[in-house]
């Protein structure tokens, strides 16, 4: 018998555990896209064909970018996991619907190619790809002044949409203008980026992600809570602050990104509170735009440090070693 080992080809003998949950990355990405449907629908309701085209352009660009970059890297694409499409959708929601479509294309290429694939692909990126793409466009803005006449010819005009010229509530707040009521701000108020028009739709989506256990309550609660408290103590109207700008999109969909947020329980709270503080600093002290995006990206850089500082003790290292005294 020695040396003879008979393997039954019918049997799967892979190592333990022998059963597997039905969790997979694609399912989580699809659920996140599902959670973004309410805000997408509200955007389409307000901005009609502008929203449809801009979102479609960004999502298609994201898919193509992943295919091309992976091709150059000689790796198979992983469109089936939905990560690229989700990035495309998130980039789109960071822009106003009437933004020139080529800006969306450029932002998406930067998000997928540079912020994600060149960083090593999903799992290795340090910064939230969609936000990275979005703020790159701000930094590149001066450059656009020169080339936009060239690109303008390619812009498509879908005709006027009533609401697109409205100032964003945050800008109104900054200029000391009268804001619409909290109720209408929360429900839906067109102005600014698509992902800002309806905090309620985003809360709905966020609640779904919490229910499906894809995100943890710690990050959104600590961000929103910090913004609320800090604006309250600095004498502002906290309700207006939490119902405006990209706060809900950032708190539920951007800061909770698995890859770029701390994995530790305490770390999530530290991360959320720090983002909340930065948001208030940006909003009160600096320009009334993209405060949420910059705050999250800045804190993305601190994630490894936060994780290290908030590491839990292993089960085998109890605080006090108990010696049996019963008997």
- Cβ 195 to other proteins shortest distance, Å: 23
Task: Return the closest-CA partner of residue 251 out of 287, 285, 278.
Answer: 278
Nearest residue (CB) to other proteins, 50 versus 253: 253
Nearest residue (CB) to other proteins, 150 versus 326: 326
- Cβ 83 to other proteins shortest distance, Å: 8
* CA dihedral for 297, 301, 302, 304, sign (positive or negative): positive
* CA dihedral for 179, 182, 184, 187, sign (positive or negative): positive
Task: Return the closest-CA partner of residue 249 out of 203, 284, 207.
Answer: 203
Nearest residue (CB) to other proteins, 174 versus 266: 266
Residue 49 in tokens: 């064909």
- Cβ 26 to other proteins shortest distance, Å: 9
Neighbouring CB atoms inside 10 A of 11's CB total 7
- Cβ 25 to other proteins shortest distance, Å: 5
Give the whole-angstrom CA distance, residue 64 versus residue 85.
Answer: 10
Nearest residue (CB) to other proteins, 153 versus 319: 319
Give the whole-angstrom CA distance, residue 214 versus residue 148.
Answer: 40
Give the whole-angstrom CA distance, residue 219 versus residue 263.
Answer: 11
- Cβ 6 to other proteins shortest distance, Å: 5
- Interface ranges with other proteins (CB under 8 A): 1-2, 5-8, 10-21, 23-25, 27-28, 78, 81, 120-124, 214, 216, 258-259, 261, 263-264, 311-322, 324, 326-327
Nearest residue (CB) to other proteins, 196 versus 257: 257
Residue 230 in tokens: 């800090």
């Amino acid at each position: 018998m020695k040396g003879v080992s008979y393997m039954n080809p019918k049997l799967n003998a892979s190592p333990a555990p022998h059963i597997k949950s039905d969790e997979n990355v694609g399912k989580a990405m699809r659920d996140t896209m599902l959670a973004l449907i309410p805000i997408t629908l509200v955007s389409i309701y307000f901005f009609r064909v502008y929203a449809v085209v801009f979102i479609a352009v960004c999502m298609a660009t994201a898919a193509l970018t992943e295919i091309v970059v992976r091709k150059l890297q000689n790796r198979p694409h992983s469109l089936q996991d939905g990560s690229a499409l989700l990035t495309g959708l998130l980039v789109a929601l960071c822009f106003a619907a009437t933004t020139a479509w080529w800006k969306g294309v450029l932002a998406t290429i930067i998000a997928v190619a540079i912020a994600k694939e060149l960083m090593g692909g999903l799992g290795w990126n340090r910064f939230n790809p969609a936000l990275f793409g979005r703020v790159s466009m701000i930094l590149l803005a001066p450059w656009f002044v020169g080339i936009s006449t060239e690109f303008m010819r390619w812009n498509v005009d879908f005709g006027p949409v009533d609401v697109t010229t409205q100032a964003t509530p945050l800008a109104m707040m900054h200029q000391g203008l009268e804001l619409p009521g909290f109720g209408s701000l929360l429900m839906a108020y067109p102005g600014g980026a698509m992902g800002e028009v309806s905090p309620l739709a985003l809360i709905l989506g966020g609640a779904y992600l919490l229910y499906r256990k894809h995100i943890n309550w710690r990050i959104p609660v600590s961000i929103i809570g910090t913004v609320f408290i800090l604006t309250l103590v600095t004498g502002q109207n906290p309700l207006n602050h939490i119902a405006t700008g990209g706060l809900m999109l950032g708190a539920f969909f951007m800061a909770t990104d698995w890859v770029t947020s701390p994995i530790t329980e305490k770390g999530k709270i530290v991360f959320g509170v720090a983002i909340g503080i930065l948001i208030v600093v940006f909003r009160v002290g600096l320009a009334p735009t993209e405060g949420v995006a910059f705050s999250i990206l800045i804190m993305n850089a601190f994630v490894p440090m936060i994780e290290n500082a908030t590491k839990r003790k292993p089960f085998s290292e109890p605080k006090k070693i108990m010696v049996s005294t019963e008997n």
